[in-house]
Amino acid sequence: MQDQLSIDHFDAIAERYAGSIRTLAPLYAAVREELDAVVKNKDVLDVGNGGLFAYDRTLAASVTALDLSAEMLKRLPPDVRRIQADARGMAGCAEESFDVVLFSLSLHHVAAKTAEATDKGVAEALASAWRVLRPGGALIVYEPVLGESLFALETVLFRPVRTLLALAGVPMVYLRSRSSLKRLIGRACTVTVAPVSGWTDPLGGTFPGLLMIPAAMHPTRFELFRAEKPVG
């Protein structure tokens, strides 16, 4: 969700990513009950979900998936509306047209050439989410979250890591701390820690089943951020 490198990467992995539901199942199970309650009878915009749903989509009034990757969108169920667009602008999404905007394990893929430019891009994506939300609607961000010290180290190493990943044809992934994400959301929000048990895929489904580790050893915490758009 950042540039041509990102489009090419996700187009290339779309087929195998669709098969990663087994390895990512513990992450989705951790928030399913809460998200089911959020989406029930609502018009939902699911940003960058890759064809994997962390909730029962049949409970929603409608589900629209937004993604940069045409190949990812091709693998969505027929009852899901598709929009090919950048999360930073959400072209094709009308103002105040959704009750819920959900970033489920996707916001860390919004990245640019520097940490500062990435902050700007994430802020643009969140501003777009507020734009398309109806008054009283909910912005939900489910993300792997780093501790403050690891986040600071990641920020320092942003440029060399991005360069190395680009050489391998892989777009940058930029995880955040809880405080930095709350700052970017910019409105009062609640945070729920999502306990994950069993074995999880630290590679996020890019190479399903290649590497599985106990959830307790994962370097991140998984947290659910929720904020509501004011009415009036």
Note the pLDDT tens digit of each residue in 80-128: 999 999 999 999 999 999 999 999 999 999 989 899 999 999 999 999 9
Element (H, E) at 23: helix 21-29
- Return the percentage of the chain with pLDDT > 70, whole number: 97
- Distance between CA atoms of 40 and 47, rounded to whole angstroms? 17
Who contacts 124 (Cβ-Cβ below 8 Å, separation ≥6)?
88, 89
Whole-number Å distance between alpha carbons of 143 and 221: 8
List 141's β-bridge partners, or say none: 103, 225
Of the listed ranges 13-27, 92-106, 129-143, 187-201, the one predicted with least confidence: 13-27
CATH architecture of 4-228: 3-Layer(aba) Sandwich (3.40)
pTM recorded for the entire structure: 0.93
pLDDT tens per residue across span 141-171: 999 999 999 999 999 999 999 999 999 888 9
